[in-house]
Amino acid sequence: MYSINEQMAKLVFKCRDIGFECNYEANGKYVDEIVPKIIEHLRVVHNLEKLDEEMKDRIAKSINKVPIKIKMAVGKKTL
């Protein structure tokens, strides 16, 4: 059994969510941690050297907070 703790979450970005036929995903705990990964991916893989305001907005809206599932053990049993 898994417990979902709202405070234990990760941020996930999927390139497909901004319109590319691409399976790239970036994740991390903080926006400042994943944005450089996203920018580097877009530059190297999709040849986007500069991001216009519309693209920046699409990226920001595509970063989702996903709860982390945590296994909880009680005594000798795992719930």
Domain segments of the chain: what residues? 2-78
42: CB partners within 8 A, 6+ apart = 15, 48, 51
Rounded CA separation 6/10 (Å): 10
Of 75 and 51, the structure prediction assigns the larger pLDDT to 51
Give residue 48's identity as a one-letter amino acid code. Answer: L
How deeply is 6 buried, as exposed, middle or buried, from its count of CB atoms within 10 A (0-12, 13-18, 19+)? exposed
Tens digits of residue pLDDT in 16-66: 999 999 999 999 999 999 999 999 999 999 999 999 999 999 999 999 999
**Residue 9: predicted pLDDT:** 86
Report whether 11 contacts 34 (CB < 8 A): yes
DSSP state of 17: G
Q: For residue 2, what pLDDT band results from cuts at 50, 70 and 90?
A: very low
